[in-house]
A and B are shown apart, each in its own frame.
Chain A
Amino acid sequence: MLLGKRMLALVMVVGTVVTVSMAWASTDPAPAPTQSIAPGAHSYVPDAEKKSTSTADHSKFKELEGPFATGPEVTKACLTCHTEAAKQVHKSKHWTWEFLNPQSKQRLGKKNVINNFCTAVPSNYEFCTACHAGYGWKDQNFDFTSQENVDCLVCHESTGTYRKLPGLAGHPPYADMEFPPKSGKIVKAPDLKAVAQSVGKTGRKNCGACHFYGGGGDAVKHGDLDSSLGEPSKYLDVHMDKDGLNFTCGTCHVTTGHEVPGSRYTPTAVPETSAHMRGKDSKNLATCQSCHTNTPHDVAKLNSHTDKIACQTCHIPEFARGGKPTKMVWDWSTAGKLDKDGKPFKVKDSGGHDAYDSKKGDFKYETNVIPEYVWFNGTVNYTLRETKLDPSRVVKINSFEGSAEDGKSKIWPVKIFRGKQPYDVGSNQLLVFHTYGKDDSALWSNFNWDKAIEYGMKEIGAEYSGKYAFVETEMSWPITHMVAPKDDALTCAQCHSPSGGVGRLDNVPGIYMPGRRANELLNTGGWGLAGLALVGVLGHGTIRIFSARKGAKK
């Protein structure tokens, strides 16, 4: 770096001198600019133009000729052929929003977990269930056994016109509607017949309809999943590169019977070391090792890292690289401020993103985020609503377990999302509050925390002391998408650079980093001893030479 600066300085000085002499010496005209290839020209063929390999053209099916007035009507038609599909979906987390962790016995899933984004689903069903793979979940009485309430379209349609809006309990708009309310923007009601006839294999944009927009907007939640992965370039994701391998989500998340592997509730921190063999049962195919094994490098030294370093650590140098900023901080404690006219307001940051919203509080966004790194063995412990917390400390919504010593951990890159959210001062437990609704208790309507919390806690049947405050929270998200081309992986120096500067793994406990965490005294002593040995050898050699000459003279 320093050398680079020196070179630049030298080049500028020398260049200036050379330019001076040339200014007097040469009057040759500059060469005419050559015509360049049009920027953006590439061999990309839009998905729609690619020839389908499916053996069925759903637009030719009588059952899908409609007309369809609602989503469930389409599902009924789907089920006439795909008789077992809804039953399979009923068992999946996309439907139940529930997961019992077999290790910790914690009951997780969206239905149960309180996070530090929009916090909790209960009391906000109509809004949150825009991302449920079903129709009509508007309160606790939702019928989870109904087959026709399964939403086939959200995962299988390919027109790009089918959109489930928050507030409609998982339904798409059946008539054109203004969204967001009072924005002047109109969302068209989808043509359900055309949408139904377009179904096929799940594509990137199907998964992305929810997973790119988690937490209330594009790129907000994950950091490594956003709409830039809809049509990504090679630099953004070497596997999903639209002009290259063009992977869909399902290429890695190989799905059987509507059960999608790759859960963040029980992530696979230390995958099997060999590649997946067809026919063999595997817990999770959505790992790098499933294809690449644990020793994919030509250089043996790199392979020797893979027992302790997750592939993602080196191969995802930053997240939110697609130009979409991800939310890094959400402070609920400032929500509820109103302007001088008593109306909610927003403040934009320098990039034009919300820095403050009366409904939600303060935010911070960032692009090209350098991950934090932690030891992780696959065990995640959640602070649930029932968990007692210590408000004097930062509450970890989820703790990634692992250490250098346990023999089953690897160093993983994570996004740590920081925020402040309400907790019950009486019971020292996280609170559920009512954000969205047409009633008088919703925070986003009346900006009254007391009412919103009271309503939310009543909804889940939990006690509330009546006093709340805000506690600092952190939530960790494993970074595993946006894999850069191999030339852009971290270099050795980014972890092993000598003292000074930055080392990516400086804050990871329990490791000795060769080249970086050197002991100056030990180094000086070592070099001193080596120097003395050299002096000794040279001295001894010199004496031997002179003695030999003396002996020869005698």
Chain B
Amino acid sequence: MLKIIIGFLFGLAVVAGAGYVMMPHMMFHETASPFGFEETIARIQHNIQDNPVLKEHGWSLSGLRNPAKAVQTDGGNVLPVMMIEACSTKYSGPILREDTVRFLSILMPCKISIYKKQDGKVYIGTMNAGLMGKMFGPLVGEVMGKVAEDQKLFLEFDPSKPAPEIILPKAPTGGAGGAAAGGC
């Protein structure tokens, strides 16, 4: 009996350990961008805005935030970081209408982070919406699964196209506050 309990606890510890090691890679994705900082932002924005599939799914840009700005205002020095915010009411609506999962509004709008690292390269950070969604029941799982599929289209680049212009928000969306231009 003791052997069974020890074996069970050991197995539990191994699973917990494996989960601890793998969780960051599973919850978030980080990919290097083949483009410069501004071009990466602009290309993702235009993907979201111009892709017919994404348009059909209700996606629109809702903001562009600069979390580094607040740090710089306080006299701190950080490498550039920008967050593109996008939203689709087709996906946010069902979640916001359901009391039991409305707290997930904390994850809205959908964010894509573009940042530079010490190697001078530009990276794109996204959340694994599909996996996250599975934790919160069938409704959220289904919606977030679709979001995850659309997220892939956000990051499909066509290098043969010329670099588009960054879409600046109509109202300033600095580190602390923000204005939604559309979507949510």
Interface residues of chain A, those whose CB is within 8 Å of chain B, are: 2, 5-6, 8-10, 12-13, 16, 19-20, 22-23, 39, 233-235, 317-318, 321, 347-352, 355, 364, 366-370, 484-485, 487-488, 494, 501-502, 504
The reply to whether A12 and B27 contact each other, CB–CB distance below 8 Å, is yes
Interface residues as binary, B21-46 with A (CB distance below 8 Å gives 1, 0 otherwise): 00111111000000011110111000
Contact B103 A494 (CB under 8 A): no
Q: With the chains together, A228 CA to B142 CA distance in Å?
A: 49
B72 is an interface residue with CB less than 8 A from chain A: yes
Supposing A2-B24, A350-B42, A368-B80 touch, asked if A20 and B36 sit within 8 A by C-beta, the answer is no
Choose from A6, A19, A504 the contact partner of B23 (Cβ within 8 Å).
Answer: A6
Tell me if A368 and B79 are in contact (CB < 8 A). Answer: yes
Cβ–Cβ < 8 Å partners of A485 in chain B: 75, 77
Whether A39 contacts B73 in the complex (CB less than 8 A), given A6-B23, A350-B38, comes out as yes
Also in contact, A234 and B135, with CB within 8 A (given A350-B165, A494-B118): no
Partner of A369, one of B103, B120, B136, B166: B120
Instruction: Supply 8 A–B pairs (Cβ within 8 Å), ascending by A.
Output: A20-B103, A39-B73, A235-B75, A350-B36, A350-B165, A352-B166, A367-B37, A501-B119
Binding site for A on B (CB under 8 A): 20, 23-28, 36-39, 41-43, 72-77, 79-80, 99-100, 102-104, 106, 116-120, 132, 135-136, 162-166
Number of A-B contacts (CB under 8 A): 94
The answer to whether B27 and A351 touch across the interface, beta carbons within 8 angstroms, is: no
A19-B106, A233-B75, A366-B36 known; A9 and B80 CB under 8 Å?
Answer: no
A243 nearest CB across to chain B (Å): 10
Name the CB-closest residue of B to A370: B120
Task: Please tell me if the beta carbons of A13 and B118 are within 8 angstroms of each other in the complex.
Answer: no
Given A13-B135, A350-B166: 19 more A-B contacts, CB < 8 Å: A2-B24, A5-B24, A6-B23, A8-B24, A9-B23, A9-B28, A12-B132, A19-B106, A23-B99, A39-B73, A234-B75, A235-B75, A235-B76, A351-B166, A485-B75, A487-B76, A494-B118, A501-B118, A501-B119
Cβ contact within 8 Å between B20 and A6: yes
The 7 A-B residue pairs with the shortest CB-CB distance, nearest first, are: A5-B24, A350-B42, A488-B77, A502-B119, A351-B38, A350-B38, A9-B27
Minimal Cβ-Cβ distance residue in A for B35: A350
Chain B, Cβ-Cβ closest to A243: B75
Report the separation of the CA atoms of residues A484 and B117 in the bound assembly, to the nearest whole angstrom. Answer: 18
